[in-house]
Amino acid sequence: MPITIIKGTIVSAPALGELEITENGYLVSEDGIITGVFPALPERYAGAEVEDCGDALILQSFADLHLHAPQYPMLGMGMDLPLLDWLNAYTFPTEARFADPDYAREVYRRLARELIEGGTTRVCMFSSLHREATLILMEELERAGVTGYVGKVNMDRNGLPPVLQEETEESKRETLLWLDQCRDFRHIKPILTPRFTPSCTDGLLDFLGKLAAERGLPVQSHLSENTGEIAWVKELHPDCGQYWETYAKYGLWNGRTLMAHCVWSDGRERAAMREAGVTVVHCPDSNQNICSGVAPVRAMLKEGLKVALGSDIAGGDHLNMFDVTAAAIRASKARRILDDWGTDFLTVAEGWYLGTSAGAAFFGERPGFAPGNPLHALVLEDRDLPRPHPMTPQERLERCVYRRQKNALRAVWSAGRKVYSAEL
Amino acid sequence: MPITIIKGTIVSAPALGELEITENGYLVSEDGIITGVFPALPERYAGAEVEDCGDALILQSFADLHLHAPQYPMLGMGMDLPLLDWLNAYTFPTEARFADPDYAREVYRRLARELIEGGTTRVCMFSSLHREATLILMEELERAGVTGYVGKVNMDRNGLPPVLQEETEESKRETLLWLDQCRDFRHIKPILTPRFTPSCTDGLLDFLGKLAAERGLPVQSHLSENTGEIAWVKELHPDCGQYWETYAKYGLWNGRTLMAHCVWSDGRERAAMREAGVTVVHCPDSNQNICSGVAPVRAMLKEGLKVALGSDIAGGDHLNMFDVTAAAIRASKARRILDDWGTDFLTVAEGWYLGTSAGAAFFGERPGFAPGNPLHALVLEDRDLPRPHPMTPQERLERCVYRRQKNALRAVWSAGRKVYSAEL
C-alpha cells in the first residue's frame, strides 16, 4: 500500500469543539501514514490513483475505548434489571459460554465485522477470562481490520465460581501464557485487564501492576461507576481513601491507564486522574441504561482530563459510535438539567472530537488527520437525505451524528488498509 | 379485504407493563376489524388463507401522537442551538418553504413512506399554517396508509411575519376552508391546532374552541415545555393562574385534547389534565435535545393520567418509534437519577404500552389486539440476531426495542390494509 489518495469533503477534529474542513480536498497517506490534507493535489502525487468520493464526507473513523466483547450476544437485553440481577441473569452466563472456542469464533467474527461496518477501527476491549477465546477475539479483530488493545480479563474473587472466577495462580499463569501467545498480532496488542477492584485479590493486582511496569503494558479497568460499588471498594480496601488509590497502590495508575465510567469521581479523584494522565472512558448509554448516573464530562474537560468514549456493550445498547456520540451529547444535556442549567452541554463538534481524536490519542495519534498518524478514515454518503437549505460540511456532519441514510458508510480505512468498501 | 389471518409469535400490550403472548398464534381480522387472537385457528376460518410468519413477532404498530411534518427535512439539525435560535435559524425558514406545493408533495410523500417503513400507522401531526400543503400532507399520508389526525397550524401573533404568521381573520377563514376541503379523506381527519398559546390571539383561541365544540373536533397543542415559555404565557394571560387554563378558558381542554410535552406541569396542572381526560404526549428525545427538562412520566402514570408518546420531529431526532420507546425508557432513567433514585423507571413493557396501546386509545381503540379494534399490526423478524440462550417472546420484544436486525420489519397492516411488505 504505497500511496492512498482520497478526495472529497474532508472534515476532521483538530481540537475539542473545532472542525477543520477542506472541501474538494485530498487526504493522502504513504505506506499507511498520513502525509497531509491538501486543498489541491501536490505535484509529487501527480499521476497517482485518486479515489474520488465526490461530495461525500471523509471523516476520521472512531475509537471505542471501552466494550465487553463477550457481552455482544446479549446486546439490548435485560435492560430493566438492576445491575446485580443483570450480571447474574445475563452477563455471567453469557460470558461463561466463551469457554467454547467455536462459540467464541462465531460471535467474535460477527462482532469484528459489525465494528468495521460501523466505522470503528480502534478499540480497547475487555474479553472474558478465557485465554483461548481471547486469542480468537484478537485473531478475528486483526482479520477484520480492527486495531487496538484487547485484554484477557483477570478476576480471582467475588465471581461466580467455577464459571467466572480463576484461582489467583491460574490467573497469573494464564495471563503470562496469553501474553506469550499473542506476540505475533500486528494490529491488536494486549492490555492488562483487572475486571475491577472487587474482582481481584491484592496479590493479583500487585502481580498485574508489576507486569505492566516490566513489559510496558497498558491497563484498563472500571472506576466509580456507581455508589454501591464505591462503598464496596471502601470496605475491601479500608487503607485507601478513594477508589482510584486501589489501582494506584499497585502500579495500575499512569498515562497508559484507561478507566471506564468515572460517573461518581469527585474533584480529588479527578485531580488524581489528571496528574497521572489517566484517560476517562465515558460510556453514556451504559450509565443511563443501568441507572449508574450521569458523568460530569463537562467538568472533567474543563479541568483538563483526557476523556474518550466507549460503547460499553452490553451495558450500552449501541455499538455504533455515531449513536454513542449522540448519546454522549444527550447525556451532557441530562447533566445540564441535573445541574440546574449550571453546566454547558457538549456540542456536536465536541462529541465528535471525543469519539475520534480523543480516543485516538490513547494510541499515540495526534488530533485530526495530522501528518504522521496512521490512516484511519471513513467515507460517509448523505446525498439521500433532504437538504432544507444549502448545507455546510459542518451541518452535514452534525446531522449524520443523529441521522444517516441507509448504507451511509461507503468505505473504511484502518491503519492504512482499506478494510471496508460498500461496493464490494 | 374480507378476512386476514396472520400467524406467528403474537405479543400485545393489554395494560401498562403487561404483555400478552400467544406463540404460534393467529391474529384474525374481518373487514379490517380484529376478531381475536387465537392459539388455534377457529373452525369458522378453516380454509381461509393464512399469512404464516413463522417464528416472527407480530406486534401492534405504533401511534406517534406528536410530530411536526414540515420539520422533517431538518431532522437531526441544529441540535446545539438554544430553542429560540433553533426556531429562527432552522424551524421557521424550513416551515416557510411549505408555501410551495411541489416542495410539500416531495417531502410529505417521503415522510409518509418513512412512517410506514418504521411501523407507525397512527399519527397526530402538526402541519404548517399552509392550507394547501396541509391538504397535500393528508393526501400523502392517506396514500401511504397512515391513519389519524393532521392539523393546519394556527398562529396569528408572535410569529415571523410575513412567512409564518397569519392575520386573525385569514387564519379563521383558511381553517374553515381547509375543513371543507378535507372532508373526503377516509383515514386522515382534521384536528384543530393552535400552535401554542403565545402564537394565538385570544380571538383566535376563542374561535377555535367554539369550532371544536360545534363540529366535534379534537384539539392538539403544546403545554409547559420549558420554564421560559411558562413565564411568557403568564405574562400574556395574567388572568390565568396556570398555563393549561389558557386552553381551558376557550374550550380547548377536554377528553379529545392532546397536549405535547408537559415537562413542567405540576400537581395542579396534572390534576386538571386527569379531570378533563386530556392526553399528555411525552416527547423524550425532543425534551432532552433542546434541554427542556425531563417530564415526570412516572408520576403522571401513577396519578392516572393518559400518557402517549411522540417523536416530536424535529426537536426529536428519531422518527422511528422503536427508538422513541427506547428514548422514553432512557429518559425515565434520567428522571430517576434526577429524583435521587426516588422514582421508578419505565420498564420496556411499559414503554411499549405507551408507544402502542396508549396512543391508540386516542383513536378510540381498546388496549392490545382487542376484538373490535381496527387491525394495526407489524411483523418483525429477529432471526439474524444472536440468541445467547433460548429467548422468550418477551425478551425478543425487549431486545428489538433497543436493537434490530437489518430489514427487521417484514410487513405492516394499517386499519386492516396491508400497507407494507418487505417482499415487495
- CB–CB contact B317 A402 (8 Å): yes
pLDDT at residue B424, rounded to an integer: 47
- Using CB atoms within 10 Å of the CB of residue A348, give its burial: 0 to 12 exposed, 13 to 18 middle, 19+ buried: buried
B401–A76 C-beta distance less than 8 A: yes
Q: Does residue B355 contact residue B331 with C-beta atoms inside 8 Å?
A: no
Task: At B335, list the grid cell.
Answer: 428522571
How far off is chain B from A335, nearest CA to CA, in Å?
A: 9
Average pLDDT, integer, range A222-233? 96
Nearest CB to A77 within list B79, B288, B399: B399
B113 touches chain A (CB under 8 A): no
**pLDDT, tens digit (0-9, with 9 covering 90-100), for B362-414:** 999 999 999 999 999 999 999 999 999 999 999 999 999 999 999 999 999 99
pLDDT tier, A161 (very low <50, low <70, confident <90, very high otherwise)? low
Contact yes or no for A77 and B110 at CB 8 A? no
Is B102 a residue whose pLDDT tops 50?
yes
Band of residue B165 on the pLDDT scale cut at 50, 70, 90: confident
Q: At B213, is the pLDDT very low, low, confident or very high (cuts 50, 70, 90)? A: very high
Are residues A134 and A127 in contact, defined by beta-carbon separation less than 8 angstroms? yes
Average predicted confidence (pLDDT) for chain B: 96
Per-residue pLDDT band for A1 (boundaries 50, 70, 90) equals low
- Do B76 and A403 lie within an 8 Å CB cutoff? yes
- What percent of chain A lies above the pLDDT cut of 70? 99
How far apart are the CA of A52 and the nearest CA of chain B, in angstroms? 27
The answer, yes or no, to whether residue A263 has pLDDT greater than 90, is yes
A291 vs B contacts (CB less than 8 Å): 333, 336-337, 341, 345
User: Tell me: the pLDDT tens digits for B40-54?
Assistant: 999 999 999 999 999
Digit-coded pLDDT (tens) for A99-133: 999 999 999 999 999 999 999 999 999 999 999 99
Chain A hits for B313, Cβ within 8 Å: none
- Which residues 287-326 of A are in CB contact (within 8 Å) with B? 288-289, 291, 293-294, 317, 326
Give how far B349 is from chain A: nearest CA, Å.
9
**Amino acid (1-letter code) at residue A217:** L
**A150 pLDDT higher than 90:** yes
Cβ pair B388:A73 closer than 8 A: yes
Maximum CA extent, chain B: 67
Q: Which three three-digit cell numbers place residue B35?
A: 376478531
- Report pLDDT for A85: 85
Closest-CA distance of chain A to residue B76, Å: 5
Question: What are the chain B neighbours of A338 within 8 Å (beta carbons)?
Answer: 337-338
Apex A338 CA angle, A332 and A339, nearest 5: 90
Q: Identify the band that residue A87 occupies on the pLDDT scale cut at 50, 70 and 90.
A: confident
Contact A75, A29 (CB under 8 A): no
Per-chain mean pLDDT for chain A: 96
Q: How many CB pairs under 8 A join A and B?
A: 113
Cell triple for A136 = 480468537
Mean pLDDT of B182-196: 97
Predicted pLDDT at A83: 79
* Alpha-carbon dihedral angle through residues B234, B239, B243, B249, given to the nearest 10 degrees: -150
Q: Which amino acid is at B288?
A: Q
Is the complex ipTM more than 0.85? yes
**What are the chain B neighbours of A94 within 8 Å (beta carbons)?**
388-389
Q: Minimal CA–CA distance to B350: which of A65, A145, A80, A407? A: A80
Asked whether the beta carbons of residue A72 and residue B329 sit closer than 8 angstroms, the reply is: no
Among B22, B25, B40, B9, residue whose Cα is nearest residue B383: B9
Q: For residue B373, give every residue at least 6 positions away whose Cβ sits within 8 Å of its Cβ, in sequence order, or none.
A: B33, B34, B360, B365, B366
pLDDT at B269: 98
- CB contacts, 8 Å: A340 with chain B: none
pLDDT of residue A99: 95
Q: Model confidence over A363-413: pLDDT tens digits?
A: 999 999 999 999 999 999 999 999 999 999 999 999 999 999 999 999 999
Contact between B226 and B83 under an 8 Å Cβ cutoff? The reply is: yes
Search chain A and give the residue with CA nearest B91: A388
Phi, psi of A267, rounded to the nearest 5 degrees: -55, -40
Question: Is 80 exceeded by the pLDDT of residue B58?
Answer: yes
Tell me whether residues B75 and A289 touch, CB distance under 8 A.
Answer: no
Helices (H), A81-158: 83-86, 92-96, 101-117, 131-144
Q: Measure A240 CA to nearest chain B CA, in Å.
A: 27
- pLDDT of amino acid A147: 98
Residue B38 distance to chain A (closest CA, Å): 28
| Among the listed residues B182, B357, B361, B171, the one whose alpha carbon sits nearest the alpha carbon of residue B256 | B361
Contact criterion met (CB below 8 Å) for B248 and B242: no
Under a CB-based contact definition with an 8 Å cutoff, are residues A283 and A258 in contact?
no
Which of B73, B78, B80 minimises the CB distance to A386?
B73
Q: What is the pLDDT of residues B310-331, one digit of tens each?
A: 999 999 999 999 999 999 999 9
What would the pLDDT profile of A288-302 be if each residue is shown by its tens digit? 999 999 999 999 999
Using a CB-CB distance cutoff of 8 angstroms, which residues of chain B are in contact with residue A336?
Answer: 291
- List, in order, residues 6 or more apart from B424 with CB less than 8 Å away: none
Q: What is the pLDDT of residue A198?
A: 95
Contact A347 B93 (CB under 8 A): no
